[in-house]
A and B are shown apart, each in its own frame.
Chain A
Amino acid sequence: MEDNDDYLLKVSNLSVKLQNQTILDNVSFKLKRGTALAILGPNGAGKTMLFKALLNLVPYTGKIEWAEKARIGYVPQNIAVDDIPISVKEFLSFKNHADVESSLSHVRLSNKNVANKTLGVLSGGELRRVLIAWALADNPNVLLFDEPTTGVDVGSEEPIFVMLNELKKKKGITVLLITHDVHIVREYSDYLLALNRCLTFFGDSKEIMNPSIQKIIYGETVCVGTPSEQK
């Protein structure tokens, strides 16, 4: 029998309208603690807007219920760091009482090598890890991750997801991640939520391999082969 306490997040009839345009229409789903949810959909489908609504950054109608003890960490898709002379240490210290060394070690970055570097000179992979360290500094139990591989070279993508997976298992963190990568959905998430302004699919993420589900999500069948599978 299902216990209501198992759920960290319940979303009912969520709609977002901005400047008279419907961005999200009547979206409902529930998410269990300690699971990973992949959010998939074409550009403009409302994926980032869903996160903004979950973070209460935009006005919405409907109901968003976080469990009482939910502590949310957020990693945005884009940040503007190229033109700002700020070191990794300074950025992480914006979080009150953040222990920089321990925050960096959680994301497998060396304090010695990275702490004094300017954010703008980090590689895409390093920057993503620093952002995860930022999100983890408040000891969250849920992590919202918008397009984890933006600006990350191909070789550095997989280790980020492996690390997220470990965090999920070791710390019991619930992960919500927006991605376009079918391989990531299949390997690193438990549930799949497909959006195209409205909810087009919610269920087991393994269903992504099902051609009829792919047709629902993309409007046509897609090739899911990845370099790692072709070995």
Chain B
Amino acid sequence: MTEALILSLLTGIFVGFSAGYLGSLMVLEKMSLVGDALSHVALPGLALGFLFNFPPFLGAFAFLFASAVIIWHLGRVTKLSFETIVGAMFTLSLAIGIIIIPELDLLEALFGDITTVTILDTAIAVIVSAIAVFLTKIIYKKLVLSMISEELAISKGIDVGRINLLYLVLVSLVVAVGIKIVGTLLVGFLVIVPAAAAKNVSADLFKYAVVSASFGIVSSCSGILFSSYLNLPTGPLVVFSGFIVFLVTVLAKWKTK
């Protein structure tokens, strides 16, 4: 096993776990498309990173963070759903990104390239994922309660607006590091499909969150391994692996009915 593959797998484990864990909330809140569309907002930030030679992760996160705050604020002011606002913003970001990104780097930005991962990339992915999971664990129950009943949550003293904002920012962080593995076009997959698969086979919240995070690891690591042995792009293979997991859970659910 090469050093590059070890780094890729380590990155895949942490990003897969955090994307699956945070994604479990996104699927419950019926915000799956927010996770998907939000990832495209990173493209102009990545482009600036490539153009001005600073880590593209930082550019991606800066754009994602700003978008998360704008989406959250517009949601409160206009009462439009997050999905509507993200839908309006992501196409614009995609258009800007594609115009300013150097052609050579476009494919990597859109589909990721885990083979070029460095120790620094892995360290960033590990630290960012660990922080995102740690903070999400603190607000997990509060977010779920606000989904069950916002009034119950507020009457229990929970600041629903503030925890929603924190959650969006944490999703932005995970999406920013996930881009390295699967790219901006496919990173939405990592926050949606493992959680959707876990929901098919979970009867309680703890199992759901753990299974979703585990499916995230299985999807990203098996995709990286297949990519390494078959010499094919990682992003699409991560998607294929995850989709097989999803299909298996659909069959399992169908069988138990």
Chain A residues within CB distance 8 Å of chain B: 52, 55, 57, 72, 74, 76, 78-81, 83-87, 89-91, 94, 116, 118-119, 134
Contacts and interface: CB of A to CB of B under 8 A. Distances in A.
A90 B203 contact: no
B31 interface: no
Task: Give the 7 A-B residue pairs with the shortest CB-CB distance, closest first.
Answer: A87-B204, A79-B149, A86-B205, A85-B202, A85-B208, A90-B205, A74-B155
Contact of B149 (A72, A76, A86, A90): A76
Contacts of B151: 52, 55, 57, 74, 76
Contacts of A57: 151, 154-155
Contacts of B30: 83
Contact of A87 (B145, B148, B205): B205
B152 interface: yes
Given A55-B154, A84-B205, A94-B141, 17 more contacts: A55-B151, A55-B155, A74-B155, A76-B149, A76-B151, A79-B149, A80-B147, A86-B144, A87-B203, A87-B204, A89-B204, A90-B204, A90-B206, A94-B145, A116-B204, A118-B204, A119-B148
B199 A85 contact: yes
B131 interface: no
28 contacts: A55-B151, A55-B154, A57-B151, A57-B155, A72-B155, A74-B152, A74-B155, A76-B151, A79-B149, A81-B148, A84-B28, A84-B144, A84-B147, A84-B205, A85-B199, A85-B202, A85-B203, A85-B207, A86-B148, A86-B204, A89-B204, A90-B204, A90-B206, A91-B148, A94-B141, A94-B145, A118-B203, A119-B148
Contacts of B147: 80, 84
Nearest to A51: B151
Point out which of B147, B149, B151, B207 has the most chain A C-beta atoms below 10 A from its C-beta: B151
A112 B148 CA distance: 24
B153 to A, nearest CB: 9
Main secondary structure of the interface of B (DSSP, over half): helix
Contacts of B199: 85
B209 to A, nearest CB: 10
Given A55-B155, A94-B141, A85 B148 contact: no
Nearest to A121: B203
Nearest to B152: A76
Nearest to B211: A85
